[in-house]
Chains A and B, each alone.
Chain A
Amino acid sequence: MSKFFKRIGKRIVAGLVMILAVSSFTFFLVHFMPGNPVQTKLNTLIEEGIPPLQAQAQVRSMYGFIPHQPLYIQYFHYVWQVLHLNLGKSISYSGVPVMHLLLKAMPWTVIMVLTGLAVSFIIGITAGVIASVKRNSKLGDGLLLLSTFLHGIPQFIMALGLAYVFTTIFKIFPFGAPYNAAISPGFTIPFIGSLARHAVLPIAAYAISGFGAWALTMRASVTSVLGDDYILAAELRGVTPSIRLRYIARNAMLPLFTILTLSVGFMFGGSIFIETIFDYPGLGYTINTALAARDYPLMDGAFLMITAAVIIATIVADLLYTVLDPRIQRI
């Protein structure tokens, strides 16, 4: 068990190092940006008649930077602030802390991505098992072709296509907001119904774009497990087909955890497209609007947050794998 905790500890330290690396990256990015926004902001504040010291304090709280200090002091100050979850202040929402805006955006992204992940996982696994068991039939070939095809379609094309087909050509689902603005938010049945109706297409876009990878890997994994000796032994013992399938599925699912980490990154990254297309005020949408508004503290904050979400999800996937596959713990 102590090895288990050692493993967790190692992963968490690696995750923290990664978050430090990403925050250093955003620091140098803003620092070497053409036109130097920090200096420009400082100059405009001074031109507006604000005393230099007060202007410096304002810029400092906005970007987390101290102009006129050696680079390394600026850097340590910035990283220190990030470690204290202080990501500076937004420019376009003048003066609102970036963290405050991100905490509001976070649930939209996390809930949508996790739901999409769960749906694509369930459909993908089922399709993969069927495609493998029936691999010499029309059904198996069809499923293989379908998952190869869907695997190749970019996420935003899927989202655009779904949006166009189901909101413009066939007006089945509403388009362009997380919920109907006429209904006041709260724990009421119409509001939750509206939320769910608006969420169908974005979740479908996440799920369909992630489905192919799961199905293809599960198919390959099941096919390799099918030939194993313990399956033959179970058949000879005369287990029922449903128990046999359970043996197969449990063992074939283990390699999928490596896909889980890739898939999580892919889906959080794709949130830029899906949230922009469906007008969901999540982290990806925040990156895009902050970029258009030249609100760099907000953009960097949202980027850092998405990366942190991917890192945390990767650690969770790794731990789940350790718990589910007893072979790892023994090593």
Chain B
Amino acid sequence: MATANLPTSHEHIKPWTPPTFWSIAWKALRRKPSRMLGLGILVFYVLMAVFGPMLYPANLPTNPANIYASPSWAHPLGTDFEGTDVLALIVTGSRYVLYSAGLAAFFTVSIGAILGLVSGYFRGWPEAIIMRIADFFLTVPGFPLLVVLSTVWNFGNPVSMGLVLGLTGWAALARAVRSQTLSLRERSFVEAARGLGLSRRQIVFGEVFPNTAPYVAMHFLLAITGSIYLEVGLFFLGVVPFSTNNWGVMLNLAFSQAGAMYSTRALPYLLSPLFCIMSLTFGIVLFLGAVDEVLNPRLRSV
């Protein structure tokens, strides 16, 4: 009966399945508590932007008798110079900030990746032209450029804001994608694809692009933080006319209209948008570590 201990069938031996993308992502997140914190912050602000504005009326009530109130149960973050609840302003303002920053990152990444792939794969005159334009946007300081552009283009609504930030911010990504493409196009799998007679569009987007995707995804998150900085800055300076309430408008009003800089009673009004911008940026930076690990297999520890 020596054979009794040996398995008689293979039923209970699980076939090995490669870990799915989500299980790798979950592992990477769990490795450091700071990454979970970053994800938590991101989810919190996204929920605030999507559902938060539904909780408040379209026009927030003002109350001249209760300006610059200290934080209380009725007004957890106090009130502003018109007596409007600061928490309500923060929540309703988050939608614009996140929506246009997301769009801006989308445009930045799309323009940058496509131009980078085209100039790296096709070389020749497209490369020369695209890279000269990229040099222009890399040299000219971005924020003054946006200020000057605001004189000809009123890009206050979120879609235009996203578009203008994308049109001025793609150059760094295009350069990086181009240099990766230059090396990828000489690899054997691309050569094989050429040999199989795939079309150039299939090679560029089906073979080369997936290999640059990790870098592009990282850049997407970084572009969100950069766009938040630029758009809030534009509203803070009052360069773009105010159409809707957002954190930059709040900072502008706190700084220039309400005289918050000269009195400590407006402390919650000034600090609330500052805190939101900082914590959101911080959340993205923390989350970035996990994304990096998922997308770069070499960083994964066994």
Binary CB contact string for chain B from 140 to 152 against chain A (1 if under 8 A, 0 otherwise): 1111110111111
Of B12-20, B41-49, B192-200, B255-263, the segment with at least 4 beta carbons within 8 Å of chain A is B255-263
Is B261 a contact partner of A168 (Cβ separation < 8 A)?
yes
Is A291 a contact partner of B147 (Cβ separation < 8 A)?
yes
Is B143 a contact partner of A272 (Cβ separation < 8 A)?
yes
Is A307 a contact partner of B140 (Cβ separation < 8 A)?
yes
Does A21 count as interface, using CB distance less than 8 angstroms? yes
Is B233 a contact partner of A266 (Cβ separation < 8 A)?
no
Is B233 a contact partner of A273 (Cβ separation < 8 A)?
yes
A311–B140 Cα gap in the complex (Å)? Answer: 8
Does A154 count as interface, using CB distance less than 8 angstroms? yes
Query: Assuming the A-B contacts A152-B225, A273-B233, are A300 and B139 also in contact, with contact meaning beta carbons closer than 8 angstroms in the complex?
Result: no
Is A161 a contact partner of B274 (Cβ separation < 8 A)?
yes
Binary CB contact string for chain A from 144 to 160 against chain B (1 if under 8 A, 0 otherwise): 00001101111111001
A323–B282 Cα gap in the complex (Å)? Answer: 38
Q: How many residues from B make CB contacts under 8 Å with A? A: 40
Nearest-CB residue, chain A, relative to B152: A33
Is A269 a contact partner of B143 (Cβ separation < 8 A)?
yes
A252-266 at interface with B (beta carbon < 8 Å): 265-266
Chief secondary structure at chain A's binding surface:
helix
Binary CB contact string for chain B from 219 to 253 against chain A (1 if under 8 A, 0 otherwise): 00000010011001100111100000000000100
Q: State the Cβ distance, B172 to closest chain A Cβ, in Å.
A: 9
Chief secondary structure at chain B's binding surface:
helix
Give the interface size bracket for A toward B.
35 or more
Instruction: Name the B residues within 8 Å of A157 (CB-CB).
Output: 274, 277-278
A118–B151 Cα gap in the complex (Å)? Answer: 34
A160–B269 Cα gap in the complex (Å)? Answer: 13
A300–B147 Cα gap in the complex (Å)? Answer: 10
Binary CB contact string for chain B from 120 to 150 against chain A (1 if under 8 A, 0 otherwise): 0000000000000001100111111101111
Instruction: Name the B residues within 8 Å of A314 (CB-CB).
Output: 139
A229–B37 Cα gap in the complex (Å)? Answer: 40
Does B281 count as interface, using CB distance less than 8 angstroms? yes
Does A179 count as interface, using CB distance less than 8 angstroms? no
Instruction: Name the A residues within 8 Å of B278 (CB-CB).
Output: 152-153, 157
Does B264 count as interface, using CB distance less than 8 angstroms? yes
Is A154 a contact partner of B261 (Cβ separation < 8 A)?
no
Instruction: Name the B residues within 8 Å of A70 (CB-CB).
Output: none
Is A288 a contact partner of B237 (Cβ separation < 8 A)?
yes
Is A303 a contact partner of B139 (Cβ separation < 8 A)?
no
A268–B284 Cα gap in the complex (Å)? Answer: 26
Does B285 count as interface, using CB distance less than 8 angstroms? yes
Does B109 count as interface, using CB distance less than 8 angstroms? no
Instruction: Name the B residues within 8 Å of A287 (CB-CB).
Output: 144, 147-148
Query: Assuming the A-B contacts A273-B233, A291-B239, are A310 and B139 also in contact, with contact meaning beta carbons closer than 8 angstroms in the complex?
Result: yes
Q: State the Cβ distance, A294 to closest chain B Cβ, in Å.
A: 8
A46–B255 Cα gap in the complex (Å)? Answer: 41
Does B113 count as interface, using CB distance less than 8 angstroms? no
Does B208 count as interface, using CB distance less than 8 angstroms? no
A18–B152 Cα gap in the complex (Å)? Answer: 22
Instruction: Name the B residues within 8 Å of A300 (CB-CB).
Output: 148
Tell which of B144, B228, B229, B285 touches A306, judged by Cβ atoms closer than 8 Å: B144
Nearest-CB residue, chain A, relative to B139: A18
Nearest-CB residue, chain A, relative to B248: A156
Does B270 count as interface, using CB distance less than 8 angstroms? yes
Q: List 21 A-B contacts (CB under 8 A).
A: A29-B148, A33-B151, A34-B152, A152-B284, A154-B233, A156-B233, A157-B274, A160-B251, A164-B270, A168-B263, A169-B264, A169-B267, A175-B261, A265-B139, A265-B141, A268-B144, A269-B143, A272-B147, A273-B236, A302-B144, A307-B139
Which are the 10 A-B pairs with shortest beta-carbon distances? A269-B141, A154-B229, A269-B143, A152-B281, A152-B285, A265-B141, A303-B148, A33-B152, A307-B140, A268-B141
